[in-house]
Amino acid sequence: MAKSTKIDIDHVSKLANLPLPDEQKRIFASQLTKILDYIEKIEKADTKNVEPTFNVTPNKNVTRKDTAGTCLTQDEALQNSKNTKNGQFVTKGVFKSE
Report the interface residues with another protein, using CB under 8 A: 11, 14-17, 54-57, 59-69, 71-74, 77-78, 85-96, 98
Cβ proximity to another protein: between 44 and 65 the closer is 65
CA separation for the pair 8, 56 (Å, rounded): 30
Whole-number minimum distance, CB 52 to another protein, in Å?
Answer: 10
Distance of alpha carbon 56 from the chain centroid: 18
Cβ proximity to another protein: between 49 and 97 the closer is 97
Q: Is 7 helix (H, G, I), strand (E, B) or coil?
A: coil
Q: Is 84 helix (H, G, I), strand (E, B) or coil?
A: strand
Q: Give the phi and the psi of residue 38 in degrees, each rounded to 5.
A: -65, -45
Whole-number minimum distance, CB 64 to another protein, in Å?
Answer: 5
Identify the CA nearest to 41 among candidates 68, 7, 1. Answer: 1
Cβ proximity to another protein: between 23 and 98 the closer is 98
Cβ proximity to another protein: between 21 and 69 the closer is 69
Whole-number minimum distance, CB 2 to another protein, in Å?
Answer: 22
